[in-house]
Amino acid sequence: MGDWKPLRRGCVVIAGLGLLIGACAPREPSVTALVEDRAQLLTATERASISGWHAALLAQYDIDYRVLTVDSADDLSAFAARSFEAAQVGQRSSAGRGLLLVVDAAGARVRLEVSRELEAVFVDSFVAFVEREQMAPFFAAGRIGDGIVATSELIAGRADAAIAGGELVGRAVEASSAGAGAETRTHANDGYVRPQATTAVDTRARLAPLDTVAAYVAAMAAHDASADLDLYTAETRQMLTGHVVTRAQMDNLVRTYRDCPAPRARIEGDVAVVDHPGESGSCAPWLLQRGADGRWRLDLVTMQRALRFDTFNRWQVAVPEALGDYAFAFER
Protein backbone atom coordinates (compact mmCIF):
# COMPACT_ATOMS: atom_id res chain seq x y z
CA MET A 1 0.00 0.00 0.00
CA GLY A 2 1.12 3.57 -0.56
CA ASP A 3 3.21 5.15 2.17
CA TRP A 4 1.15 7.53 4.29
CA LYS A 5 4.10 9.70 5.31
CA PRO A 6 4.38 13.20 3.85
CA LEU A 7 6.30 13.20 0.60
CA ARG A 8 10.04 13.71 0.82
CA ARG A 9 11.77 16.22 -1.38
CA GLY A 10 12.37 14.60 -4.75
CA CYS A 11 9.51 12.07 -4.47
CA VAL A 12 7.08 13.97 -6.65
CA VAL A 13 7.65 15.53 -10.05
CA ILE A 14 10.99 17.25 -9.68
CA ALA A 15 10.40 20.93 -10.28
CA GLY A 16 13.22 23.45 -10.49
CA LEU A 17 15.59 21.25 -12.47
CA GLY A 18 15.26 23.17 -15.71
CA LEU A 19 18.48 22.84 -17.70
CA LEU A 20 20.16 25.79 -19.40
CA ILE A 21 19.56 25.92 -23.14
CA GLY A 22 22.49 26.84 -25.36
CA ALA A 23 22.26 30.24 -26.99
CA CYS A 24 23.66 29.10 -30.35
CA ALA A 25 21.15 27.88 -32.91
CA PRO A 26 22.54 25.64 -35.65
CA ARG A 27 20.50 24.89 -38.77
CA GLU A 28 19.30 21.65 -37.25
CA PRO A 29 18.52 22.36 -33.57
CA SER A 30 20.71 20.52 -31.11
CA VAL A 31 18.51 19.14 -28.38
CA THR A 32 21.12 19.41 -25.68
CA ALA A 33 18.62 20.18 -22.92
CA LEU A 34 15.79 17.94 -21.82
CA VAL A 35 13.37 20.66 -22.92
CA GLU A 36 14.31 23.05 -25.73
CA ASP A 37 11.44 25.45 -26.30
CA ARG A 38 12.47 27.28 -29.47
CA ALA A 39 8.87 28.19 -30.30
CA GLN A 40 8.41 29.69 -26.82
CA LEU A 41 5.26 27.71 -26.17
CA LEU A 42 5.99 27.00 -22.51
CA THR A 43 6.21 29.09 -19.39
CA ALA A 44 9.34 28.93 -17.23
CA THR A 45 7.41 26.92 -14.65
CA GLU A 46 6.22 24.45 -17.28
CA ARG A 47 9.73 24.04 -18.69
CA ALA A 48 11.09 23.35 -15.20
CA SER A 49 8.33 20.86 -14.43
CA ILE A 50 8.76 19.00 -17.72
CA SER A 51 12.54 18.93 -17.30
CA GLY A 52 12.04 17.40 -13.88
CA TRP A 53 9.80 14.68 -15.27
CA HIS A 54 12.27 13.85 -17.98
CA ALA A 55 15.17 13.81 -15.54
CA ALA A 56 13.18 11.31 -13.50
CA LEU A 57 12.55 9.16 -16.58
CA LEU A 58 16.29 9.03 -17.19
CA ALA A 59 17.14 8.27 -13.58
CA GLN A 60 14.45 5.65 -13.01
CA TYR A 61 13.91 4.05 -16.41
CA ASP A 62 17.18 4.86 -18.19
CA ILE A 63 15.24 6.66 -20.93
CA ASP A 64 16.77 9.76 -22.51
CA TYR A 65 13.51 11.61 -23.24
CA ARG A 66 13.66 15.11 -24.68
CA VAL A 67 11.31 17.74 -26.03
CA LEU A 68 11.88 20.19 -28.86
CA THR A 69 9.39 22.85 -29.93
CA VAL A 70 9.90 24.72 -33.21
CA ASP A 71 8.05 27.49 -35.01
CA SER A 72 7.57 25.37 -38.13
CA ALA A 73 8.87 22.31 -39.97
CA ASP A 74 7.83 21.44 -43.52
CA ASP A 75 8.57 17.72 -43.23
CA LEU A 76 8.18 17.03 -39.54
CA SER A 77 9.10 13.34 -39.80
CA ALA A 78 12.40 14.04 -41.56
CA PHE A 79 13.10 17.01 -39.32
CA ALA A 80 12.55 14.93 -36.18
CA ALA A 81 14.81 12.15 -37.46
CA ARG A 82 17.61 14.62 -38.27
CA SER A 83 17.26 16.34 -34.91
CA PHE A 84 17.31 12.97 -33.15
CA GLU A 85 20.57 12.00 -34.82
CA ALA A 86 22.21 15.42 -34.51
CA ALA A 87 21.49 15.62 -30.79
CA GLN A 88 22.40 11.96 -30.18
CA VAL A 89 19.19 11.40 -28.27
CA GLY A 90 19.70 8.25 -26.23
CA GLN A 91 23.34 9.02 -25.49
CA ARG A 92 22.49 9.80 -21.87
CA SER A 93 21.01 6.32 -21.49
CA SER A 94 23.34 3.46 -20.69
CA ALA A 95 21.17 1.23 -22.88
CA GLY A 96 20.64 3.68 -25.76
CA ARG A 97 17.00 4.31 -24.96
CA GLY A 98 15.96 7.56 -26.62
CA LEU A 99 12.70 9.40 -27.24
CA LEU A 100 12.32 12.81 -28.86
CA LEU A 101 9.02 14.69 -28.85
CA VAL A 102 8.93 17.42 -31.51
CA VAL A 103 6.13 20.01 -31.53
CA ASP A 104 5.58 22.04 -34.69
CA ALA A 105 3.73 25.17 -33.53
CA ALA A 106 2.74 26.58 -36.92
CA GLY A 107 1.61 23.23 -38.33
CA ALA A 108 -0.05 22.16 -35.05
CA ARG A 109 1.68 18.78 -35.35
CA VAL A 110 3.58 16.52 -32.99
CA ARG A 111 6.05 13.73 -33.66
CA LEU A 112 7.49 11.23 -31.20
CA GLU A 113 10.74 9.79 -32.49
CA VAL A 114 11.72 6.42 -30.97
CA SER A 115 15.15 4.80 -30.85
CA ARG A 116 15.64 1.21 -32.05
CA GLU A 117 16.19 0.14 -28.45
CA LEU A 118 12.64 1.17 -27.54
CA GLU A 119 10.73 0.12 -30.67
CA ALA A 120 9.40 -3.06 -29.07
CA VAL A 121 8.08 -1.09 -26.10
CA PHE A 122 6.81 2.11 -27.73
CA VAL A 123 5.32 0.58 -30.84
CA ASP A 124 3.75 2.80 -33.49
CA SER A 125 0.21 2.01 -32.37
CA PHE A 126 0.99 3.05 -28.78
CA VAL A 127 2.74 6.22 -29.92
CA ALA A 128 -0.13 7.16 -32.23
CA PHE A 129 -2.66 6.51 -29.46
CA VAL A 130 -0.78 8.70 -26.98
CA GLU A 131 -0.46 11.49 -29.52
CA ARG A 132 -4.09 11.32 -30.66
CA GLU A 133 -5.84 10.63 -27.35
CA GLN A 134 -3.50 12.27 -24.86
CA MET A 135 -1.53 15.13 -26.36
CA ALA A 136 -4.05 16.38 -28.90
CA PRO A 137 -6.82 17.26 -26.40
CA PHE A 138 -4.41 19.28 -24.24
CA PHE A 139 -3.02 21.05 -27.26
CA ALA A 140 -6.53 21.80 -28.51
CA ALA A 141 -7.21 23.47 -25.17
CA GLY A 142 -4.05 25.56 -25.51
CA ARG A 143 -2.44 23.79 -22.54
CA ILE A 144 0.65 22.45 -24.26
CA GLY A 145 2.78 22.27 -21.13
CA ASP A 146 0.14 20.23 -19.30
CA GLY A 147 -0.13 17.96 -22.33
CA ILE A 148 3.58 17.22 -22.40
CA VAL A 149 3.63 16.52 -18.66
CA ALA A 150 0.60 14.23 -18.96
CA THR A 151 2.26 12.44 -21.87
CA SER A 152 5.40 11.98 -19.80
CA GLU A 153 3.29 10.29 -17.12
CA LEU A 154 1.89 7.80 -19.64
CA ILE A 155 5.36 7.11 -21.02
CA ALA A 156 6.64 6.49 -17.50
CA GLY A 157 3.75 4.11 -16.88
CA ARG A 158 4.48 2.19 -20.07
CA ALA A 159 8.18 1.99 -19.16
CA ASP A 160 7.31 0.75 -15.67
CA ALA A 161 5.12 -1.99 -17.13
CA ALA A 162 7.83 -2.93 -19.64
CA ILE A 163 10.47 -3.26 -16.94
CA ALA A 164 8.14 -5.33 -14.77
CA GLY A 165 7.43 -7.58 -17.75
CA GLY A 166 11.08 -7.95 -18.67
CA GLU A 167 10.65 -6.12 -21.98
CA LEU A 168 13.38 -3.57 -21.25
CA VAL A 169 16.74 -5.31 -21.14
CA GLY A 170 19.55 -2.79 -21.06
CA ARG A 171 22.58 -3.18 -23.26
CA ALA A 172 25.11 -0.57 -24.34
CA VAL A 173 24.35 0.46 -27.91
CA GLU A 174 24.69 3.57 -30.00
CA ALA A 175 21.29 5.23 -30.00
CA SER A 176 19.82 5.69 -33.45
CA SER A 177 16.34 6.38 -34.69
CA ALA A 178 15.14 3.86 -37.24
CA GLY A 179 12.31 6.09 -38.31
CA ALA A 180 9.97 4.55 -35.77
CA GLY A 181 7.39 6.81 -34.28
CA ALA A 182 4.24 8.56 -35.36
CA GLU A 183 3.05 12.02 -36.26
CA THR A 184 -0.25 13.62 -35.35
CA ARG A 185 -1.85 16.94 -36.19
CA THR A 186 -2.91 18.38 -32.84
CA HIS A 187 -5.26 21.21 -33.82
CA ALA A 188 -3.61 23.44 -31.24
CA ASN A 189 -5.90 26.03 -29.68
CA ASP A 190 -8.88 24.80 -31.75
CA GLY A 191 -10.80 24.22 -28.54
CA TYR A 192 -10.91 21.18 -26.29
CA VAL A 193 -13.86 18.86 -26.92
CA ARG A 194 -14.72 16.82 -23.84
CA PRO A 195 -15.01 13.08 -24.64
CA GLN A 196 -18.56 11.74 -24.62
CA ALA A 197 -19.69 8.34 -23.38
CA THR A 198 -19.48 5.63 -26.04
CA THR A 199 -22.07 3.46 -24.30
CA ALA A 200 -24.92 4.19 -21.92
CA VAL A 201 -23.74 4.11 -18.30
CA ASP A 202 -25.70 4.75 -15.12
CA THR A 203 -23.78 7.61 -13.50
CA ARG A 204 -26.09 8.21 -10.55
CA ALA A 205 -24.50 8.28 -7.11
CA ARG A 206 -25.04 5.09 -5.14
CA LEU A 207 -26.13 4.23 -1.61
CA ALA A 208 -22.85 2.41 -0.89
CA PRO A 209 -19.30 3.81 -1.36
CA LEU A 210 -18.07 0.70 -3.18
CA ASP A 211 -20.92 0.93 -5.65
CA THR A 212 -20.19 4.59 -6.39
CA VAL A 213 -16.54 3.81 -7.09
CA ALA A 214 -17.53 0.92 -9.36
CA ALA A 215 -19.93 3.19 -11.25
CA TYR A 216 -17.19 5.79 -11.68
CA VAL A 217 -14.74 3.25 -13.13
CA ALA A 218 -17.49 2.07 -15.48
CA ALA A 219 -18.05 5.67 -16.59
CA MET A 220 -14.34 6.05 -17.30
CA ALA A 221 -14.36 2.79 -19.30
CA ALA A 222 -17.18 4.28 -21.39
CA HIS A 223 -15.13 7.48 -21.86
CA ASP A 224 -17.68 9.68 -20.09
CA ALA A 225 -15.67 12.80 -19.26
CA SER A 226 -18.71 14.89 -18.32
CA ALA A 227 -17.92 17.25 -15.48
CA ASP A 228 -21.46 17.26 -14.09
CA LEU A 229 -21.93 13.57 -13.25
CA ASP A 230 -24.04 12.86 -10.19
CA LEU A 231 -21.14 10.66 -9.02
CA TYR A 232 -19.21 13.82 -8.06
CA THR A 233 -19.61 16.22 -5.17
CA ALA A 234 -20.63 19.75 -6.13
CA GLU A 235 -17.11 21.03 -5.49
CA THR A 236 -15.66 18.27 -7.66
CA ARG A 237 -18.02 19.14 -10.51
CA GLN A 238 -16.92 22.75 -10.32
CA MET A 239 -13.24 21.75 -10.37
CA LEU A 240 -13.61 19.38 -13.32
CA THR A 241 -15.26 22.05 -15.43
CA GLY A 242 -11.83 23.60 -15.98
CA HIS A 243 -9.91 20.33 -16.39
CA VAL A 244 -8.83 18.55 -19.55
CA VAL A 245 -9.71 14.85 -19.37
CA THR A 246 -8.51 12.58 -22.17
CA ARG A 247 -9.46 9.11 -23.34
CA ALA A 248 -5.90 7.99 -22.70
CA GLN A 249 -6.13 9.08 -19.06
CA MET A 250 -9.44 7.30 -18.61
CA ASP A 251 -8.12 4.11 -20.21
CA ASN A 252 -5.07 4.24 -17.96
CA LEU A 253 -7.27 4.60 -14.86
CA VAL A 254 -9.42 1.64 -15.88
CA ARG A 255 -6.37 -0.56 -16.51
CA THR A 256 -4.85 0.40 -13.17
CA TYR A 257 -7.91 -0.33 -11.04
CA ARG A 258 -8.77 -3.47 -12.97
CA ASP A 259 -5.60 -5.03 -11.55
CA CYS A 260 -6.05 -3.75 -7.97
CA PRO A 261 -6.86 -6.07 -5.05
CA ALA A 262 -10.46 -6.19 -3.85
CA PRO A 263 -11.55 -2.82 -2.43
CA ARG A 264 -12.90 -2.16 1.02
CA ALA A 265 -14.88 0.79 2.39
CA ARG A 266 -14.27 2.45 5.73
CA ILE A 267 -16.94 4.86 6.89
CA GLU A 268 -16.91 7.43 9.64
CA GLY A 269 -19.94 9.68 9.81
CA ASP A 270 -20.61 11.13 6.38
CA VAL A 271 -17.19 10.47 4.86
CA ALA A 272 -15.74 7.24 3.50
CA VAL A 273 -12.42 5.97 2.20
CA VAL A 274 -12.29 3.14 -0.32
CA ASP A 275 -8.87 1.52 -0.52
CA HIS A 276 -7.31 -1.74 -1.71
CA PRO A 277 -5.56 -3.67 1.10
CA GLY A 278 -2.38 -5.32 -0.11
CA GLU A 279 -1.82 -3.07 -3.12
CA SER A 280 1.73 -1.96 -3.94
CA GLY A 281 1.13 1.77 -4.27
CA SER A 282 -0.49 2.18 -7.68
CA CYS A 283 -4.09 1.95 -6.46
CA ALA A 284 -4.81 5.28 -4.80
CA PRO A 285 -7.67 5.36 -2.28
CA TRP A 286 -10.96 7.06 -3.11
CA LEU A 287 -12.50 9.71 -0.86
CA LEU A 288 -16.27 10.06 -0.75
CA GLN A 289 -18.91 12.18 0.95
CA ARG A 290 -22.48 11.20 1.80
CA GLY A 291 -25.05 13.73 0.67
CA ALA A 292 -28.36 14.71 2.22
CA ASP A 293 -30.01 12.13 -0.05
CA GLY A 294 -27.94 9.36 1.53
CA ARG A 295 -25.90 8.76 -1.63
CA TRP A 296 -22.12 8.68 -1.80
CA ARG A 297 -20.19 10.96 -4.16
CA LEU A 298 -16.52 11.19 -5.06
CA ASP A 299 -14.55 14.02 -3.47
CA LEU A 300 -11.81 14.43 -6.08
CA VAL A 301 -11.00 17.92 -4.78
CA THR A 302 -9.68 16.64 -1.45
CA MET A 303 -7.94 13.78 -3.23
CA GLN A 304 -6.12 16.29 -5.42
CA ARG A 305 -5.14 18.42 -2.43
CA ALA A 306 -3.95 15.60 -0.20
CA LEU A 307 -2.62 12.82 -2.43
CA ARG A 308 0.16 12.74 -5.01
CA PHE A 309 1.77 10.17 -7.27
CA ASP A 310 5.55 10.06 -7.31
CA THR A 311 7.62 9.45 -10.43
CA PHE A 312 7.29 5.70 -9.86
CA ASN A 313 3.48 6.16 -10.11
CA ARG A 314 2.99 5.27 -6.44
CA TRP A 315 0.55 7.27 -4.37
CA GLN A 316 1.43 8.97 -1.13
CA VAL A 317 -0.15 11.47 1.23
CA ALA A 318 1.52 14.74 0.30
CA VAL A 319 -0.48 17.12 2.52
CA PRO A 320 -1.79 15.27 5.60
CA GLU A 321 -3.57 18.33 6.95
CA ALA A 322 -5.65 18.46 3.77
CA LEU A 323 -7.26 15.11 4.60
CA GLY A 324 -9.57 16.68 7.19
CA ASP A 325 -12.26 14.20 8.26
CA TYR A 326 -10.73 11.50 6.07
CA ALA A 327 -7.61 11.29 8.27
CA PHE A 328 -9.12 8.46 10.33
CA ALA A 329 -8.40 6.00 7.52
CA PHE A 330 -4.73 7.00 7.23
CA GLU A 331 -3.73 6.81 10.87
CA ARG A 332 -1.15 4.15 11.59
Q: Give the span between the Cα atoms of 114 and 28, in whole angstroms.
A: 18
**Do 221 and 174 share a structural domain?**
no
Q: Quote the percentage of the chain above a pLDDT of 70.
A: 79
Confirm whether 163 is domain-assigned.
Answer: yes
Q: How confident is the model at residue 327 (pLDDT cuts 50, 70, 90)?
A: very high
8 A C-beta contact, residue 224 and residue 249: no
> Number of H helices and number of E strands within the chain?
9, 11
CATH of the domain at 219: 3.10.450
Residue type for 165, please?
Answer: G
Q: Which domain holds residue 293?
A: 209-330
Q: How confident is the model at residue 142 (pLDDT cuts 50, 70, 90)?
A: confident
Q: Residues 30-73: pLDDT tens digits?
A: 445 788 889 888 888 888 877 877 787 888 888 999 999 888 88
**Do 255 and 172 share a structural domain?**
no
Question: What is the predicted pLDDT for the residue at 311?
Answer: 64
**Axis crossing angle, helix 144-164 with helix 247-258, rounded to the nearest 10:** 30
Confirm whether 16 is domain-assigned.
Answer: no
State the CB neighbour count (10 A cutoff) for residue 174: 11
Q: Residues 285-319: pLDDT tens digits?
A: 999 999 999 999 999 999 989 998 776 668 899 89
Among 212, 220, 224, 204, residue whose Cα is nearest residue 253: 220
Element (H, E) at 153: helix 144-164
8 A C-beta contact, residue 104 and residue 120: no
**Do 246 and 124 share a structural domain?**
no
Cα-Cα-Cα-Cα dihedral sign, residues 132, 134, 140, 143: negative
